[in-house]
Chains A and B, each alone.
With several copies, the nearest count.
Chain A
Amino acid sequence: MTEYTLKELMTLMAAREIRDGDIVFCGTGISMVAAMAAKYINAPNSIIFFETGAIDSKLEEIPMAVADPRVMFGAASNSGLLDAFATMQNRITGDHVIGILGAAQVDKYGNLNSTCIGDYSKPKTRFSGSGGACDVASFVPRCLIFMQHEKRKFPIKIDYLTSPGYLDGPGARERAGLMSGGPTAVITNLGVMYFDSETKEMYLAYYYPGVTPQKILDNMEFSVDISRAAEAAPPSEQELQILRERVDPYKLIL
């Protein structure tokens, strides 16, 4: 079996969540690689679109930002932010969108912090802030979240709630006035977590080959159910080949 990196497996775990016909809201970095990989592997009719207004771009090279001129080439249309977010906020197209997000912290309900650690007005560490993440998390029915599996990134309580997951549990999105939906999976360098359909709490669905469920628990502040966990299938030869030769040949991201 071919060697692979955990980053490659992470990317593929995300790609496998994308269904044919999905409209994929894409950020930068690994999320863009995952969306591009899905188009080549399992979801040829999925469509990648960017909050900047480009839809179904011809991605000959990996864009390094959602405003990279590479997203403007060969698109079905180039508009702006207002149109892009409307596509997610309206239910006609929005219900077909899957978002891919990253964050500095995630809690057990999939709420994300990408704003700061410490006090909001004078934080210990400041991050970029929401960008479109809060919007995507507010609007779309399915979301994938990329995380590095470290204790401080899976805290009991996040320092700032930038992007809504299930807020404080079942029914909370609806009570707040958000559209239903919410995060689908948290994909890390160790495994994949889903959310229980009843409790809306994160549980372990997959651990990667060579990783134990216990190791995953050791890298989180809160505990998750591991009773439903199974070992993830390693990357196939074909998946790796596509990833390495077609998606990111210059190793810009992976």
Chain B
Amino acid sequence: MNLNQEKVMTLDKAIGMYVTDGCHISIGGFTVSRNPMAAVFEIMRQKKKNLHCYAHSNGTGVDELIGGGCLSKLEIAYGGNGKAAPTCIRFKSAIQRGDLLFEDYSNYQMSLRFHAGAMGIPFMATRSGLGTDIVNKWGFSKEMRGKDPKLPDKKIEIIDNPFPNWGNASRVVLVPAINPDVTIIHVQKADKYGTCRIEGLTFADADQVKASKHVIITCEEIVETDTLREKPEYNQIPFIHVSAVVHVPYGAYPSACYNYYDYDPQMLSHVSKFAKDDDLYQKYLEKFVYGVKDHQELLKLMGKDQLAKISADRRTGYATGLDRR
């Protein structure tokens, strides 16, 4: 959080300040929507290393962070990305090669872990996962957990219901809270203090933000504070949680940003195709990530026609009739 300092800054400054080597990070969005891709690419350009990442289903973004070699540890529910990559490709190869320490959860469990972090309690209870390998198989050993104060004691704990005759549950799964060092989300509208209005689905973004020590907001538009405050009930994130605000139009590209633009099916397929081969993927990175100075340059490289194709229709909020084959 940050109450008083100036919050509007450039993306390279925000990433430089808050994403430090070895820090614990989470990003907003879900598979093909509202991944903070401009920020992800900037993290890759700044060659951040040994990040520990928490993800539910942050397909597009997490796969690039893996591909860019930024992650050493990953707690995740789902490494897939719609049609372009039923299993995220760099994720798949990193795990098959043993290049990444990882641990599996379910989407609800990850959401609950962020929720617990936002609420300031050590765990949340659920009935999901009883009898499964998600409960039984740990990615981080007990020894490793004992040595690292940034890891919870256990992956998961099962307890008998302390209210045996209540809730029709004999036992429950407890999942430990997550409090990332930094969370980055991309939203449609924010003011210069960081109050955010997300349009469409919010996924787990608000809890991820509230659970996090530092928060970077990238946004399509910086709008007047008074405008957002005409309908405070539609602002999911009040400024007190936010450290930095960065204006990045098309900041979720090539994922979608509801009411602004659709995902880019061509680009997502292109990345997937290149991601399947190490050399090709390096070429992709050299051209689209390292080869551009910033997100604006990437957009120039994509070209106006490509962006026009994914421009959102006013009525539906997506690019009606977009060729998605």
Please report A residues at the B interface, Cβ cutoff 8 Å.
Answer: 20-21, 23, 28-29, 45, 47, 51-56, 58, 60-61, 64-82, 85-87, 89-94, 96, 115-116, 120-135, 138-139, 160-164, 167, 172-174, 176-179, 250-252
- The B contact surface, by secondary structure, is loop
> A75 contacts B132, CB within 8 Å?
no
Contacts of A94 in B (CB 8 A): 120
Interchain residue pairs A-B with the least CB separation, the first 8: A90-B120, A128-B80, A65-B82, A131-B78, A176-B131, A177-B171, A67-B30, A89-B120
B149 within 8 A of A: no
Contact among B1, B59, B127, B212 with A177 in the assembled complex (CB-CB below 8 Å): B127
Instruction: Determine, out of B11-19, B229-237, B301-309, the stretch whose residues face the partner at the interface.
Output: B229-237
B98 within 8 A of A: yes
A-B contact number at CB 8 A: 290
Contacts of A167 in B (CB 8 A): 131
Contact among A51, A54, A77, A163 with B237 in the assembled complex (CB-CB below 8 Å): A77
Pairs A–B under 8 Å by Cβ, sample size 8: A66-B30, A72-B232, A76-B228, A76-B238, A77-B235, A80-B205, A85-B107, A164-B131
Contact among A64, A76, A80, A173 with B235 in the assembled complex (CB-CB below 8 Å): A76
B324 within 8 A of A: yes
Q: Name the interface residues of B139-173: CB closer than 8 Å to any CB of A.
A: 139, 158, 168-172
> A68 contacts B232, CB within 8 Å?
no
Bound complex: CA of A93 vs CA of B318, how far in Å?
A: 30
Residue from A81, A116, A127 whose CB has the most chain B CB atoms within 10 Å: A81
Contacts of A173 in B (CB 8 A): 131
Contacts of B126 in A (CB 8 A): 89, 135
Say how far A57's CB is from chain B's closest CB, in angstroms: 8
Known: A129-B79, A177-B169. A90 touches B111 (CB 8 A): no
> B104 contacts A115, CB within 8 Å?
yes
Contact among A82, A139, A161, A252 with B128 in the assembled complex (CB-CB below 8 Å): A139
Contacts of B87 in A (CB 8 A): 126-128
B290 within 8 A of A: no
Residue on A nearest B322 in the bound complex, by CB: A61
Bound complex: CA of A89 vs CA of B3, how far in Å?
A: 18
Say how far B102's CB is from chain A's closest CB, in angstroms: 8
Given contacts A120-B139, A138-B130, 11 further A-B contacts (CB under 8 A): A67-B33, A67-B201, A82-B115, A85-B107, A89-B128, A92-B211, A126-B91, A127-B92, A129-B78, A162-B132, A167-B131
Contacts of B106 in A (CB 8 A): 130-135
Contacts of A81 in B (CB 8 A): 30, 56, 107-108, 111, 203-204
Contact among A58, A60, A87, A164 with B132 in the assembled complex (CB-CB below 8 Å): A164
B222 within 8 A of A: no
Q: Name the interface residues of B56-85: CB closer than 8 Å to any CB of A.
A: 56-57, 59, 76-83
> B77 contacts A129, CB within 8 Å?
yes
B317 within 8 A of A: yes
Residue on B nearest A20 in the bound complex, by CB: B4
Bound complex: CA of A33 vs CA of B80, how far in Å?
A: 19
> A126 contacts B115, CB within 8 Å?
no
Contacts of A55 in B (CB 8 A): 238, 240
Contacts of B86 in A (CB 8 A): 128
Bound complex: CA of A24 vs CA of B5, how far in Å?
A: 19
Known: A69-B317, A129-B79. A78 touches B96 (CB 8 A): no
Contacts of A78 in B (CB 8 A): 200-202, 232-233, 235
B262 within 8 A of A: yes
> A23 contacts B210, CB within 8 Å?
no
Bound complex: CA of A15 vs CA of B88, how far in Å?
A: 29
